[in-house]
Structure 1
Amino acid sequence: MQKLLAGLIAFCFPLFFEASAQTPQRFDVIIDEIFADPTPIISLPNAEFVELKNTSGRNINLQGWRVSSLTTRSAPFPSYVLPADSFLILSGTANSVAFTNYGRTLGITSFPALDNSGAVLYLTSKEEITIHSVPYNNTWFQNDVKSSGGWSIEMIDTKNPCTGAGNWKASTDIRGGTPGIKNAVGASNPDKIAPALVRAVAVDSLTIILTFSETVDSANAAINRNYSISDGIGSPVSVVTLAPTFNQVKLTLSNPIIKDKVYTITANDISDCTGNSIIAMNTTRVGLASLPDTFDIIINEILFNPKPTSVDYVEIYNRSNKIVDLKDLYIANRSSSTNALGSLHQLTARSLLIFPEDFFVISESGYIVQQNYLAKNIDNFIDVPMPSLPNDAGVMVILNSQGKILDELHYTAKWHFALIDNEEGIALERIDYNKATQNKDNWTSAASTANFGTPSYQNSQFRTGLALQGEVSVIPKTFSPDNDGFEDFAMLNIKMATVGYVANVTIFDAAGRPLRYLARNATLASTASFKWDGLDDKLHKVPVGVYVIYTEVFNLDGKKRSFKNTVIVAAKF
């Protein structure tokens, strides 16, 4: 009996010692599954959970650890040894019993409520070391149906814990998730993408916060010579990598920056936690912001009648010389009965700068807007609860943090281009930044050649102020539509010096007979292109020969221009 007891002690003591004595390191245990929205129920219990995985290769005692959000910190975990390469389901104490049939489960006092989107979860040891953090949001599902609830998001490659959205997706398990077992989406997904410097914000004249696209290596990110600021500011005197996400760095300067002056910050020799070094996207702008005044920030584009697949959006533009912090801006509408301001919402609680001549897009889901329209500046989108924007007419108001109205638009669907039959999915664009917002002649429909919307970049109907002129060219002038990969089609390129035009493009044969209506009532941006593939309207290949492309351009003011271009359809013999 004594020998048996001694054997048990000899066997168990190393496991206990190993699980208790070693100080845990970052990524020893990771958060690899999040179930933030249990409804509608697919199959899993109607309760939130977080799954942990021990990736350290040794047993770890979780006593004193905590799981936290940015607003709630759980109570310390009780003593619990998590074996190497195993999973643990964390839930609130009242809900943990619902998961006991799925695998190892630990009920946690003060378990943080899991926001459905736009949240940060992080795991800390009893030594207050941040072991892992996950700044998740709804786009990580990569599935519009599953993001509405009932499904978990799962980490694809647990050997790649630093990558965000690119290493997570909705579970493919028919139950809605895989608590307690290997993730259904598990696969090799190594991080091969270098970190990028996304933005910088000046907290004050001597303090700047940098944000990177992913978690960075804390050691080299904290070296001050890795950063340089333009206009004589130089390198910071101190650098601190910020927990819990470690994708932000605080710089302390020796020389102050000046208000409303734009500086450039360059970051070198910064790597992510898998060793990818920053290469190209290593610069960004920064400056000390000012409070905007009337007409500094204007409403530049508005979509109030979206397609079923899209959402309303409002684009704002900084027409001033000021650097503006978007946390100082609010949106609102007005009551149709009392004209009182309503549905007031701050654009963002965190500092985010809009520089002179910059555009930002406000919507309930920038991700959905980007799925429906070309977005040239994907970082310039803000998700915020939107005021109601009726399809026929409504009001959009932009205010500063002092309650001063910066711009106000009373729009109506009647401002759309008169020849458009269905305004659904077509944005209204401002033509001139400097003309009055309420001037109906300063608004028109976004061009069809710009997919009826230009969120985050210059409007398709932006007026350049040049004289009324234009040109139409065809490239190449001879083509052979034989699908051999060389000059298989001709491109008709239209360039107009002003906007607000509509084009009709018709192709005639040498006898003057119309063969192909290439465009009918196409609203134009300042530039547009149309492709002719050598087919007629019946999709039959036209004979070899000379053809005339007749382009007619006009607007509602009665201004009209026509262009004739010849093109040769050839063939190989």
Structure 2
Amino acid sequence: MMRYLWALLPLSLCGQNLIHQDFSAGQSLDSLWQGDLQNFEFRDSALALNDSVAGQSTLYHTSGVMTAARWDFHGRMDFNPSSSNYLKIEVMLSQLPPDSSHFGYYLKLGGNAQDQIQFYRQDPNGDQLLAASAADYLDLNTVQYHISLRRNADLLWELYADTGSFEQWYLQASVRDSNHRFSAGLAMTCHYTKTRSTKFYFDSLYVVGAAYPDSIAPELISWSLKGDSALQLNFSEKLAPPQLSAFEIQQGIQLASLEWQAHNPHELMLHFKDPLLPNQPILLRIEKLSDLFGNHYSDSLNLLYRQVLAGELRINEIMADPSPKVDLNPNSFPEVEFIELINVSQLAIPMDQIEIQIGERLYSCPPFWLQPDSFLILSAANTAVYWPAQIPVLGLNWSSSALTNDGNRITLYSSEAEEIESLHYSSDWYQEALKAEGGWSLERKDPSSDCHTIWNWQASQDPSGASPGRRNSIADVYHDSLKAQVLALKIPSPFEIQIDFNRSLFGLGPWQIDPPILIDSLALSQEGKSHHIYLSQALEEGLLYRVFTEEGLVDCRNQIYQPDSLKVGLALKPQPGQLRISEVLFNPYPKGKDFVEIRNLGPGFVDLADLRLASWNSELQEAIDAKVLSLEHRLIAADSCLVLATEAAALHAFYQLREANFQAVAELPSMPDEGLELVLMRSDFEILDRVFLSEESHAPFLSSGEGVSLYRLDFQQNALRLDQWQSSPATWDYATPGWCPDIKRNIASKVQWQAYPEYLSPNGDGYRDYLELHYNLAKDAWIQIHIYDRQGNLQKEIIAGDQASAEGFVVWQGQDEGGQLCAAGVYLAYLEYRFADGEMGRARCSFVLSH
């Protein structure tokens, strides 16, 4: 057996770790060797394996060597290595005795199809091949190996080897790796079949080097609560096995157990005996938590088991259409879609517990703590790098066009899948047509308000087009004056009642129906503007039902709305004379729209879907251009009216539209400005009402009928006569769309207004020199009385506006405003009145003046 002689150590190595065993010189194993000692013996001037069955045998030794180090091994295997017969030499072990959970570095001689010397790094999650000799290097019947593995102070590894008669070291491979900087020992493990159980020989080994000079305590890198039952701590380096006594939690919370695994020594898990209370800060004390080198970590940690509640995180700004960019300064903010969030709570919010849904797609947020009263931008991941550093941004895995220009639903969810906030933005929110074309964000006025209406959102007023990461340009206290009201009652089927409101409302208690019908379920749509009541049994034809809620409804302002009992029932086929065209605007202002108002005189409900509105062709004597008024089953109750127009905004611009009695229609029949003839029909074309309207029906004193509606005087008279229509007065803003029956027109049976006598001759002869105009209004009212000639010229203002008793008269002596006697002819006397409850009307009568 060849012996290898070692020179004395140089002075530079004094004080370093050293292991030197020369078995070929007859040295025995020192006392620090442990493992399967019984399976080895000294034979043939070497330490030899001596087993009788297949298996594996290990010898291991303490060793802190890991840098400026060298590991030399000499020996032989009296066989050609294979996958079942090979030698594993672990030069750095994180723990002794070695097991599958430790980490470090090792050499493998054989055990692979390439017959190589292979160098591995062992990690908790698997082994990584770092370097290897040439293929077939060990493809010998007897392998006499000489190996030197070295690691310098720069953590560069070099593998030297020779086989056969040792002459010199040959470099096989080199690699730089610094993942592991701790060693507790080294080991040699023989893997063998029965026939090779005595064929492993070790001549000598020589290990020299320094331990890693670590005097730095570990640092806590991150922590995260796993629900309400556990805390995960991640440290900057590997920890020695910790004890539960190193941890203490205040506020009376007890720890149940500690979980630490050697294969993942950077991390540990603390388990609580009782669940943590949400949103309650707690203090964790850590005392003398040690790393592998005995350095201690001690600190206090403020923990918070955070459950984000509804309303604590708000959507504060939306940039759905960023092009073209308003602010051309490239350093302001990028031309990309974004959503701005604001934390309106008193506690920080962990964003990795938040999910955001845009339309149908759900996105998770990366870790980030959003502090109270702070802003955060969400943007596409591939655009996050373009944002200025002073604006906090999270990049999410959404496309750069996730926010559709016309609108979409955005919902924030907590980790418990609870809804935090939800809104459906719309291009209507901009309230400025030019800004809706792009480049401007939608800003929220008051994030403390739950309301998502045009009163709380509008286009940014910032000169840059948006205000990401700072206070919104429109920030103010939310104010909303819109009073809740019912817009429509619909019966989509005998098993469903639909109630439409003008704003989002939510029930404080259940809906009820009288006569009683069991309600199967309730569904909300249109942001709570539509309530769908599904019934367990069908509504009965001919019955009138009362729908009510005793507790009322609440809106986003927390204001309670108690609707009056709503009357519904199955609609019957309307009969001739039941429905009347009650008001028409056919010559609107330039930016206005035509409208037609219809009234149900009763009895029973009428379904708008069963009605058609058409023009009447006098030559053909038939209806043409018939329009379907609705595809929805909207009810028109008895003694109520409904105004039909293509859009509500055009009526709101000029008149006091009563939205509860408004129905948008796709199209009305052609309505020329000079006049028309309309027909109201059933869907089977049975004529229900027919009217004729003309500019000639307007008051003669009007210079133009533009923007002035005509209202019907008497629903029982022939509406083809021009004298059955009258101009809406200025006190009504020249139209009253949807206000029937609250503000009713002049009907002869209700208001009496007449001239006595029917002519006068103010010539001073004492006979009919003056005229008495008598009125009977049934109750006190505010009145105006004016005299006009047939050409519409004002002749005399008798009462400009004054409070009057219910019954009385005034006198006119035939003089104009200048005191001059008026010319002979026909004159018109107009009475306009308004009662204290807001009801108003107008009446006229005619008389003759002669000389």
- The C-alpha deviation readout for 1:344-373, integer Å capped at 9, x for no partner, is 5654x6554321222222234323423422
- Aligned residue identity for 2:411: L
Residues 93-104 of structure 1 aligned to structure 2 (within 5 Å): 104=393
Give unmatched runs, 5+ long, in structure 2: 1-180, 182-213, 235-277, 280-304, 329-333, 755-772, 787-791, 800-810, 836-842
Aligned 8 A contact 1:195 1:272 in 2: no
3-state SS in 1 of match to 2:704:
coil
Aligned equivalents of 1:7, 1:129: Cα separation in 2:
31
Aligned pair in 2 of structure 1 residues 199, 306: CA closer, same or farther (>3 Å)?
closer
The match for 2:351 among 46, 51, 60 is 60
The match for 2:411 among 113, 117, 123 is 123
Aligned pair in 2 of structure 1 residues 31, 11: CA closer, same or farther (>3 Å)?
closer
Q: Which has the higher contact order (CA 8 A, sep 6+)?
A: 1
The match for 1:164 among 453, 478, 481 is 453
Aligned pair in 2 of structure 1 residues 215, 415: CA closer, same or farther (>3 Å)?
closer
3-state SS in 2 of match to 1:426:
coil
Aligned residues: 496
* Corresponding residue of 1:354: 636
Pair 1:182-2:471 in alignment: yes
* Corresponding residue of 1:302: 584
Aligned 8 A contact 1:472 1:492 in 2: no
Q: How far 1:30 moved relative to its partner?
A: 4.0
Aligned 8 A contact 1:53 1:88 in 2: no
Aligned equivalents of 1:106, 1:79: Cα separation in 2:
7
Aligned pair in 2 of structure 1 residues 52, 342: CA closer, same or farther (>3 Å)?
farther
Pair 1:363-2:639 in alignment: no
Aligned 8 A contact 1:311 1:363 in 2: yes
The match for 1:378 among 636, 641, 659 is 659
3-state SS in 1 of match to 2:599:
strand
Aligned pair in 2 of structure 1 residues 214, 138: CA closer, same or farther (>3 Å)?
same
Aligned 8 A contact 1:103 1:179 in 2: no
3-state SS in 1 of match to 2:451:
coil
Residues 284-363 of structure 1 aligned to structure 2 (within 5 Å): 284-290=566-572, 292=574, 296-308=578-590, 310-327=592-609, 329=611, 344=627, 346-347=629-630, 351-363=633-645
Pair 1:8-2:290 in alignment: no
Aligned 8 A contact 2:354 2:365 in 1: yes
Q: How far 1:183 moved relative to its partner?
A: 2.5
Aligned pair in 2 of structure 1 residues 493, 402: CA closer, same or farther (>3 Å)?
same
Pair 1:77-2:363 in alignment: yes
Aligned 8 A contact 2:623 2:679 in 1: no
Aligned equivalents of 2:721, 2:603: Cα separation in 1:
24
Aligned equivalents of 1:127, 1:402: Cα separation in 2:
55
Q: How far 1:282 moved relative to its partner?
A: 5.0
Aligned equivalents of 1:32, 1:293: Cα separation in 2:
54
Aligned pair in 2 of structure 1 residues 331, 7: CA closer, same or farther (>3 Å)?
farther
Aligned pair in 2 of structure 1 residues 203, 409: CA closer, same or farther (>3 Å)?
same
Aligned equivalents of 1:281, 1:247: Cα separation in 2:
14
Aligned equivalents of 1:390, 1:525: Cα separation in 2:
30
* Corresponding residue of 2:833: 527
TM-score by length of 1: 0.64
Q: How far 1:395 moved relative to its partner?
A: 6.3
Q: How far 1:453 moved relative to its partner?
A: 1.1
* Corresponding residue of 1:432: 714
Aligned pair in 2 of structure 1 residues 49, 473: CA closer, same or farther (>3 Å)?
farther
Aligned pair in 2 of structure 1 residues 216, 411: CA closer, same or farther (>3 Å)?
closer
Aligned equivalents of 1:99, 1:210: Cα separation in 2:
48
Identity %: 22
- Aligned residue identity for 1:381: F
- The C-alpha deviation readout for 1:205-232, integer Å capped at 9, x for no partner, is 4443445555455xx63x43xx4434x3
Aligned equivalents of 2:403, 2:688: Cα separation in 1:
39
Q: How far 1:140 moved relative to its partner?
A: 5.5
Larger Rg: 2
Q: How far 1:256 moved relative to its partner?
A: 5.1
Q: How far 1:158 moved relative to its partner?
A: 0.9
3-state SS in 2 of match to 1:66:
strand
* Corresponding residue of 1:268: 550
- The C-alpha deviation readout for 1:98-151, integer Å capped at 9, x for no partner, is 996797475745846454xxx773526498755444466777566788679876
- Aligned residue identity for 2:747: R
Q: How far 1:416 moved relative to its partner?
A: 2.9
Q: Which has the higher helix share?
A: 1
Aligned pair in 2 of structure 1 residues 89, 412: CA closer, same or farther (>3 Å)?
farther
Aligned 8 A contact 1:449 1:524 in 2: no
Residues 154-553 of structure 1 aligned to structure 2 (within 5 Å): 154-162=443-451, 164-178=453-467, 181-189=470-478, 200-211=489-500, 214-216=503-505, 221=508, 223-224=509-510, 227-230=511-514, 232-233=515-516, 236-237=518-519, 239-240=521-522, 242=524, 245-253=527-535, 257-259=539-541, 261-270=543-552, 272=554, 276=558, 278=560, 280-281=562-563, 283-290=565-572, 292=574, 296-308=578-590, 310-327=592-609, 329=611, 344=627, 346-347=629-630, 351-375=633-657, 377-387=658-668, 389-393=671-675, 411-458=693-740, 461-465=745-749, 469-470=753-754, 492=783, 505-506=796-797, 524=830, 527=833
* More divergent stretch after superposition (97-106 vs 29-38): 97-106
Aligned 8 A contact 1:330 1:400 in 2: yes
Aligned 8 A contact 1:472 1:494 in 2: no
Q: How far 1:422 moved relative to its partner?
A: 1.3
* Corresponding residue of 1:540: none
- The C-alpha deviation readout for 1:176-224, integer Å capped at 9, x for no partner, is 544564322112237899966665544444443445555455xx63x43
Aligned pair in 2 of structure 1 residues 47, 25: CA closer, same or farther (>3 Å)?
same
Aligned pair in 2 of structure 1 residues 445, 90: CA closer, same or farther (>3 Å)?
farther
* Corresponding residue of 1:545: none
TM-score by length of 2: 0.46
Aligned 8 A contact 1:269 1:277 in 2: no
Q: How far 1:159 moved relative to its partner?
A: 1.0
Aligned 8 A contact 2:579 2:599 in 1: yes
- Aligned residue identity for 1:86: F
Q: How far 1:381 moved relative to its partner?
A: 2.1
Coordinate RMSD, CA, aligned: 5.6
Aligned pair in 2 of structure 1 residues 472, 166: CA closer, same or farther (>3 Å)?
farther
- The C-alpha deviation readout for 1:22-54, integer Å capped at 9, x for no partner, is 776544544444567889986699998765545
- Aligned residue identity for 2:222: I
Q: Which has the higher strand share?
A: 2
Q: How far 1:265 moved relative to its partner?
A: 2.6
